[in-house]
């Protein structure tokens, strides 16, 4: 096989560095360091005007596919603060910790499980070991400290009296809300198995090794769904949700070759999990998890029933038996997915002024759908442009821009991934028509103003 052919089988990460993404995100107001004027704050980030639209789209697209397009999943918004009892029952107080190791020489900090899994290989080469077979520092081959267990939960207190009963935690995942409300929701909605409860919201983990911009942060947003099924049907539903979720990322335009499904080996499985498969993406620094789809068995409901003393079983009308459902959990990250869409969409191409930077977002992911660009700042052109702007704002996110040369304005829209620009020129006043310019091909078509709304609907609405 020629080396060219060998190359085709090797997926390539998006041709962009994280420095480029970070600087574009700040310059254009997608995401930036939180509390920056005070020097930044512990791996937390703020989302600016374009970032919030992007996050909102990711959230809505997930919600639409997992909840609204289905008859067997309902929604929940549970509280972020939870009592200690919930996290004792779930096992987080005892088990939600990462093994932390430090390099005695260069002082770099690592997660031993990540070293074991070879997660730093793209950056540092294959995991190195000393003569005794112990893992050494990927950076300088120095000796590592013994692993220390570090609980990732943020602990806080409720009320004015500080004692054992006031201990609370910020949730480290949204999942527990679905388990502790299982019976209430099942009774209220009269659902029969299989059915799911879904939730989107913030989670908090005191990560040891945050990094890669918003890939791993201490405060982040998750989208999780607990799908309750009859024991014995769990393998089928696990396979089903892995496929379903993989297809979702493809539907919204991620490069297929940069996506893979990776089943966990036995030693890697969480203590509650019978099987887990991750959807992974090939980031500029190597493969990383986008989402985990786990078969959590009946662990969580059993634990909460035991610790709360409440019956969390389900009465099966067919067999007249009480059963504890098994749970299949697709757990995705909204903020991580938004970052992935940004990286995957990034493209540069030569043009007459140097380089055209374009974010080739899927139209449903793009933060701004249409830009209205009058060719001149003068009346009556801007009057017409404002009329169109007002009409289109009822349907989509719009940017109105009348400053600088039209070529510059197109580039500004390309750089934030706006799928369509509508140009209003002097002829518009004569022929009652405008030009629609498409981001990727840069093709332009003339459309009569009375047909503009339908023309954009045809191009933008997702089926």
**177 near ligand ATP, rule: CB under 6 A:** no
- Over the window 133 to 172, marking each residue x when it contacts ligand ATP by CB under 6 A and - when it does not, the resulting string is ----------------------------------------
Tell me the window of 75-83, 143-151, 283-291, 436-444 that interacts with ligand ATP (CB under 6 A): 283-291
Residue (of 52, 13, 21) closest to 357 by Cα position? 21
- The residues, ordered by sequence, that sit 6+ positions from 336 with a Cβ below 8 Å of its Cβ are 214, 215, 220, 290
**332 near ligand ATP, rule: CB under 6 A:** yes
How does DSSP classify residue 263? Answer: E
The minimum distance between CB 377 and ligand ATP, in angstroms, equals: 43
- Over the window 252 to 271, marking each residue x when it contacts ligand ATP by CB under 6 A and - when it does not, the resulting string is --------------------
**291 near ligand ATP, rule: CB under 6 A:** yes
- Is-contact 234 328, C-beta < 8 A? yes
Rounded Cα distance between 84 and 72, Å, is 31
Tell me the window of 244-252, 332-340, 347-355, 367-375 that interacts with ligand ATP (CB under 6 A): 332-340
SS3 content of the chain, % helix, strand, coil (to 5): 35, 30, 35
Tell me the window of 213-221, 306-314, 317-325, 389-397 that interacts with ligand ATP (CB under 6 A): 213-221
- Is-contact 341 254, C-beta < 8 A? yes
**339 near ligand ATP, rule: CB under 6 A:** no
**Options 201, 333, 367, 374; binder of ligand ATP; rule CB under 6 A:** 333
The minimum distance between CB 209 and ligand ATP, in angstroms, equals: 9
**Options 171, 205, 409, 437; binder of ligand ATP; rule CB under 6 A:** 205
Q: Is residue 456 exposed (0-12), middle (13-18) or buried (19+ Cβ within 10 Å)?
A: buried
**342 near ligand ATP, rule: CB under 6 A:** no
The Cβ of residue 452 has, within 10 Å, a number of other Cβ atoms equal to 18
Locus of tokens 């006043």: 429
Residue whose CB is less far from ligand ATP, 216 or 238: 216
Phi, psi dihedral angles at 376 (to 5 degrees)? -135, 160
Residue whose CB is less far from ligand ATP, 152 or 447: 152
The minimum distance between CB 376 and ligand ATP, in angstroms, equals: 46
Helix (H) or strand (E) holding 99: strand 97-102
DSSP codes of every residue in 162-178 = -SGGGEEEE-SSSHHHH
Diameter of the chain by CA atoms? Answer: 83
- Is-contact 366 417, C-beta < 8 A? yes
**331 near ligand ATP, rule: CB under 6 A:** yes
**207 near ligand ATP, rule: CB under 6 A:** yes
**238 near ligand ATP, rule: CB under 6 A:** no
Phi, psi dihedral angles at 398 (to 5 degrees)? -125, 145
Rounded Cα distance between 151 and 153, Å, is 6
**336 near ligand ATP, rule: CB under 6 A:** yes
Residue whose CB is less far from ligand ATP, 173 or 344: 173
**335 near ligand ATP, rule: CB under 6 A:** yes
Residues that bind ligand ATP (CB under 6 A): 173, 205, 207, 216-217, 220, 222, 289-292, 331-333, 335-336
């Amino acid at each position: 096989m020629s080396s060219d052919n060998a190359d085709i089988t090797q997926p390539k990460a998006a041709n962009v560095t994280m420095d480029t993404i970070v600087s574009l995100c700040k310059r254009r107001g997608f995401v930036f360091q939180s509390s920056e004027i005070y020097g930044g704050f512990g791996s937390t980030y703020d989302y600016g005007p374009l970032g919030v639209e992007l996050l909102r789209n990711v959230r809505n697209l997930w919600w639409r596919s997992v909840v609204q397009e289905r008859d067997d999943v309902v929604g929940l918004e549970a509280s972020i603060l939870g009592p200690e009892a919930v996290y004792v029952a779930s096992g987080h107080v005892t088990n939600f910790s990462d093994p932390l190791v430090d390099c005695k020489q260069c002082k770099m900090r690592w997660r031993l499980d990540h070293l074991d899994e070879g997660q730093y290989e793209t950056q540092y080469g294959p995991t190195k070991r000393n003569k005794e077979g112990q893992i050494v520092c990927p950076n300088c081959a120095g000796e590592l400290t013994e692993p220390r267990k570090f609980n990732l939960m943020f602990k806080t207190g409720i009320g004015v009296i500080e004692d054992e009963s006031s201990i609370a935690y910020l949730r480290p995942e949204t999942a527990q809300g679905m388990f502790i409300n299982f019976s209430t929701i099942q009774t209220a909605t009269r659902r029969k198995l299989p059915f799911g409860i879904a939730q989107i919201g913030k989670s908090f983990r005191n990560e040891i090794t945050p990094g890669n911009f918003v890939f791993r942060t201490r405060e982040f947003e998750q989208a999780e769904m607990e799908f309750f099924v009859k024991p014995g049907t769990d393998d089928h539903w696990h396979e089903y949700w892995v496929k379903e979720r993989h297809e979702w990322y493809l539907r919204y335009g991620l490069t297929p070759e940069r996506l893979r499904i990776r089943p966990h080996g036995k030693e890697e499985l969480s203590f509650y999990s019978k099987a887990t498969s991750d959807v992974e993406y090939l980031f500029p620094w190597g493969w990383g998890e986008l989402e985990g789809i786990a078969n959590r068995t009946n662990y969580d409901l059993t634990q909460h029933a035991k610790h709360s003393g409440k019956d969390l079983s389900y009465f099966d009308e067919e067999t007249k038996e009480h059963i504890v459902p098994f749970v299949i959990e697709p757990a995705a990250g909204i903020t991580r997915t938004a970052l992935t869409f940004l990286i995957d969409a990034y493209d540069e191409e030569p043009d007459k002024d140097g380089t055209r930077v374009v974010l080739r977002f899927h139209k449903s992911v793009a933060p701004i759908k249409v830009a209205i660009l009058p060719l001149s700042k003068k009346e009556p052109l801007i009057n017409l442009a404002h009329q169109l702007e007002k009409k289109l704002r009822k349907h989509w996110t719009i940017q109105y821009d009348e400053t600088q040369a039209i070529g510059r304005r197109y580039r500004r829209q390309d750089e934030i991934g706006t799928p369509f620009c509508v140009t209003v020129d002097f002829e518009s006043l004569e022929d009652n028509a405008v030009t629609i310019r498409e981001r990727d091909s840069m093709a332009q078509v003339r459309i009569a103003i009375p047909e503009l709304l339908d023309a954009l609907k045809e191009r933008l609405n997702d089926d």
